[in-house]
Structure 1
Amino acid sequence: MIMVQFSAFLSGLTKNISSKKGKKRRINLGREATETLAKESRKNGLLLTSSGNVCAEWSSNYISAYSKGGNKGTNQDSFIVWEGFGGKEDVMLCGVFDGHGPWGHLVGKRVKKVMPAYLLHYWQEAMAQCSILMDGELCKNANFDQFGVWKNSFTKACSMVDYDLELHPVIDSFYSGTAAVTIIREGDLIVLANVGDSRAVLGTTSDDGEVIAVQLTVDCKPSLSKERERIYTSGGCVCESDDEPGVSRIRVSINEIPEGPGLALSRAFGDFFVKDSGLISEPDVIQRTLTTRDRFVILATDGVWDVVSNEKAVEIVSSSADERDESAKRLVEYAAAQWKCKRPGFAKDDISVVCIFFNNPSSSQD
């Protein structure tokens, strides 16, 4: 496995930041470097984009991933698992992407492809800016904020991802888009960036020794008060149709009369037909410091959460602990069966799950 000389890389990047070369050139160079790292990681079994498992010998993570198409046509879900992200052994990246609309499968795949490059670029740039050179080595300054660096990097990366989609010469994302939930683990810190209604749920041990569910992300939907307020402020409208009771959608509002198709998300990549009506691609970013009680995190598209509770999902994955390589598949198959029971007459959605098991977080909390 090839690991980059990180301090040397950041030192060069620090000089490049102050140069007059355009941002576009720096980002293009960053994408080329990321593609090189991705090829090497894939060759070494550290990068996964199809169903399988990742377990690096030097990592305390064990990751199981599985995806299954529904009854709506092409599977529009996709995911990525990347150990040693950016050439750093203590950094892991995972994400699930739930495309929708006529071009949703291509939008989701595009976001999966470019998100790591943009994220890595802005993270490395931020690391260079908040580091100082001591004895020929780059060291973090006294005010270094690990979560702040990742949050800022995610925010900038998501903005660039949406910009990339808007300018793409082939993929039409006007009436198509994707939700995405992405997790970074660096040491004992996990950072989650959520755009849409895919979800991250933690399995952690309670005081009495039971594994319980803790929902980490909030589903970004138009029915949420803060999301609804932004939509109306932007000139959009939130409506429910008679044939979808309880489902709120963003619609373009002209003179208080909603027009055109609606979107049941308040945050998404693409979907430019409602981008001026309150839809945003800005991620909701949260953090958690892992403890010895935290067992695993489930990332899944809404094909799971529409028919399976957080508690049931955690129960299924927890019972798979002795056979972790099958954990994601077991949850997907259970959700698929639940669609037949709970949503008769509805087409089964695409379903994707990534299970991230934490073996040895070094910090503890009572």
Structure 2
Amino acid sequence: MGKEKASAALFDQLQAAIEGGEGEEIVGKMKGIVVFDIDGEKWTLDLTPGSRSVKKGAPEGKPDLTLTISDENFVKLVMGKMGPQQDAWVIHEGLGGQNNLLLAVFDGHGQEGDKVSRHVAATLPGLMANSSAFRAKRFKQCCEEQFPACNASLRKLKTVNSMLSGSTGVIALLQASSSLFAGSRLLVANIGDSRCMLGRISSTGVVSSVSLSVDHIPDVPSEAARIRAQGGRLEPYTIGGEQMGPTRVWLADKDTPGLSMTRAFGDTIASSVGVIAQPHVLEITLEPEHQYLVLCSDGIYEFMSNDEIVGIVHAEAEKGALPAQIAKLLVQTARHQWMAEEDGGVDDCTAIVCFLTRGNLKPGALTPAPLPPSPAAAGISRPSISRHAALRMSGTPLVDLPQQIDVAANATQAATAPLPKAPSGSASGRKLTAEGGQSILAAITQGR
């Protein structure tokens, strides 16, 4: 699996370079038939006039140029430094003047995926809070209306090209109660493949996960049927006659866009063949056995099952670890697995961990906080090589955050000003405390 994914990723890099994306400054200067010999694996670029293509294997004739290079140096040459982190997350207490807690993770993809995920994170909560359905507590209807509305707002932006870029989205909306969240209503809505799960501890101590989101991928029969009905084509990458990697969405007669999910914000080209921004929505009542809530991007679960993720959360919580420590451990564990499985390649990793039954909320912790005039959300992690969060609490911007911060939950909003850079290499975090100073919630994100 690792080799297939690595080859597919390599194809992505070459394809982006010859189509004028990342690496164009290198590939754009080449002419004719160019062969990259990358750690013994040959890739042929046809850069003759009127043709720009890439395929696995050696050319039929003699190439005009052959470059022998290691995989590590190839990435540096063609891709330059790794691109911006494309994950964003949201923590917002008292959304729309109600006694609730909104959590969300957005995972961007494509050349401008970071811009897409940031726009959705900054826009969707405000659209929800200002809708009549939200004010009437018809939260399912609200999500079904406002996810597409957020997608429409994205397409109107002149500063973001979402033709071949997009983002997943998963949100969890909790209604607080005096015993923290036990007995509360929980709504989860998602598009794409970012996940939300519960950690359930049975009366006999058995730990298990409860999936609350749906992976919208071409392997789901109902999703595949919609794509085909809209004229889309579903198949993996075909490189040198060999299929590899996951099934992807393509136009009927063109090898684009190659999207590995069937629902997303953005992805305008893919939307012409059935990729939609309509969410799957689930509403449940939390029980005492539901002790943890986890939201994460696919970088976390690529090499871990939901049960393994919940197992880590529970094991660490039993040792007295705080949510911020657990979220950080999930990110670190996922990154180590990526480096082991993918020869050093690492996806963006974001995890939100929430304790549902440990302790009681501080009095007034979820005091309704009105949104600013323009839609915004709290706790957005800036997608960049340097990770940080920019929050506004009681009107005071908090920037260049350390790895973990404590904030009182009332009146927390997002900074609407441009987000400044944080110290390089730091992981951004956010923590909500309960009565007695006990931490119940944290978000940690780290890029490639």
Q: What is the TM-score when the length of structure 2 is the normalising length? A: 0.57
- Looking at structure 1, the residues matched to 245 and 354 of structure 2 have their Cα atoms a distance apart, in angstroms, of 32
Larger radius of gyration: 2
| Equivalence map 1:297-336=2 (5 Å) | 297-321=293-317, 322-324=320-322, 325-336=324-335
Counterpart secondary structure, 2:223: helix
Structure 1 contact 292–361 (Cα < 8 Å) conserved = no
1:173 aligns with 2:172: no
1:156 aligns with 2:145: yes
| Equivalence map 1:235-250=2 (5 Å) | 235-242=231-238, 245-250=244-249
- Looking at structure 2, the residues matched to 82 and 127 of structure 1 have their Cα atoms a distance apart, in angstroms, of 15
The one-character-per-residue Cα deviations of 1:266-293 (angstroms, maximum 9, x if unpaired) are: 0000010111101000001111210111
Offset of 1:211 from its aligned partner?
A: 2.2
1:83 aligns with 2:79: no
Offset of 1:361 from its aligned partner?
A: 10
Offset of 1:242 from its aligned partner?
A: 3.6
Structure 2 letter corresponding to 1:204: R
The one-character-per-residue Cα deviations of 1:86-114 (angstroms, maximum 9, x if unpaired) are: 222x3110100100111110110000000
Offset of 1:305 from its aligned partner?
A: 1.2
Counterpart secondary structure, 2:308: helix
Counterpart secondary structure, 1:295: strand
In structure 1, the residue matched to 2:118 is: 109
Structure 1 contact 213–314 (Cα < 8 Å) conserved = yes
In structure 1, the residue matched to 2:214 is: 218
The one-character-per-residue Cα deviations of 1:22-71 (angstroms, maximum 9, x if unpaired) are: xxxxxxxxxxxxxxxxxxxxxxxxxxxxxxxxxxxxxxxxxxxxxxxxx8
Structure 2 letter corresponding to 1:104: G
In structure 2, the residue matched to 1:357 is: 355
Distance 1:316 1:252, change over 3 A: same
- Looking at structure 2, the residues matched to 127 and 108 of structure 1 have their Cα atoms a distance apart, in angstroms, of 22
TM superposition outliers: structure 1 runs of 4+ over 4 Å: none
Structure 1 contact 85–92 (Cα < 8 Å) conserved = yes
In structure 2, the residue matched to 1:202 is: 198
Looking at secondary structure, tell me which structure has more helix per residue.
1
Counterpart secondary structure, 1:285: strand
| Equivalence map 1:1-366=2 (5 Å) | 72-88=82-98, 90-122=99-131, 125-126=132-133, 149-187=138-176, 188-242=184-238, 245-254=244-253, 258-321=254-317, 322-324=320-322, 325-344=324-343, 347-359=345-357
- Looking at structure 2, the residues matched to 159 and 361 of structure 1 have their Cα atoms a distance apart, in angstroms, of 37
Distance 1:193 1:245, change over 3 A: same
Structure 1 contact 151–285 (Cα < 8 Å) conserved = yes
In structure 2, the residue matched to 1:60 is: none
Structure 2 letter corresponding to 1:237: R
- Looking at structure 1, the residues matched to 130 and 233 of structure 2 have their Cα atoms a distance apart, in angstroms, of 36
- Looking at structure 1, the residues matched to 343 and 284 of structure 2 have their Cα atoms a distance apart, in angstroms, of 38
Structure 1 letter corresponding to 2:94: G
- Looking at structure 2, the residues matched to 78 and 155 of structure 1 have their Cα atoms a distance apart, in angstroms, of 21
Offset of 1:359 from its aligned partner?
A: 2.1
In structure 2, the residue matched to 1:138 is: none
Runs of 5+ in structure 2 lacking a partner? Answer: 1-80, 177-183, 361-448
Structure 1 letter corresponding to 2:106: F
Counterpart secondary structure, 1:97: strand
Structure 2 letter corresponding to 1:115: L
Runs of 5+ in structure 1 lacking a partner? Answer: 1-70, 131-145
Offset of 1:127 from its aligned partner?
A: 5.6
- Looking at structure 2, the residues matched to 348 and 176 of structure 1 have their Cα atoms a distance apart, in angstroms, of 19
Structure 2 letter corresponding to 1:343: E
Counterpart secondary structure, 2:257: strand
- Looking at structure 2, the residues matched to 331 and 105 of structure 1 have their Cα atoms a distance apart, in angstroms, of 22
Structure 1 contact 292–360 (Cα < 8 Å) conserved = no
Structure 1 contact 198–219 (Cα < 8 Å) conserved = yes
- Looking at structure 1, the residues matched to 185 and 352 of structure 2 have their Cα atoms a distance apart, in angstroms, of 18
Structure 1 contact 173–270 (Cα < 8 Å) conserved = yes
Count of matched residue pairs? 267
- Looking at structure 1, the residues matched to 311 and 134 of structure 2 have their Cα atoms a distance apart, in angstroms, of 39
- Looking at structure 1, the residues matched to 359 and 126 of structure 2 have their Cα atoms a distance apart, in angstroms, of 27
RMSD: 1.9
Offset of 1:327 from its aligned partner?
A: 1.3
- Looking at structure 1, the residues matched to 359 and 95 of structure 2 have their Cα atoms a distance apart, in angstroms, of 18
Sequence identity, in percent? 31
Q: What is the TM-score when the length of structure 1 is the normalising length? A: 0.70
Q: Pick 1 or 2: higher relative contact order, CA cutoff 8 A, min separation 6.
A: 1
Counterpart secondary structure, 1:241: strand
Structure 1 contact 181–200 (Cα < 8 Å) conserved = yes
Structure 2 letter corresponding to 1:126: A
- Looking at structure 2, the residues matched to 356 and 87 of structure 1 have their Cα atoms a distance apart, in angstroms, of 21
Deviates more, 1:73-82 or 1:311-320: 311-320
In structure 2, the residue matched to 1:42 is: none
- Looking at structure 1, the residues matched to 94 and 130 of structure 2 have their Cα atoms a distance apart, in angstroms, of 15
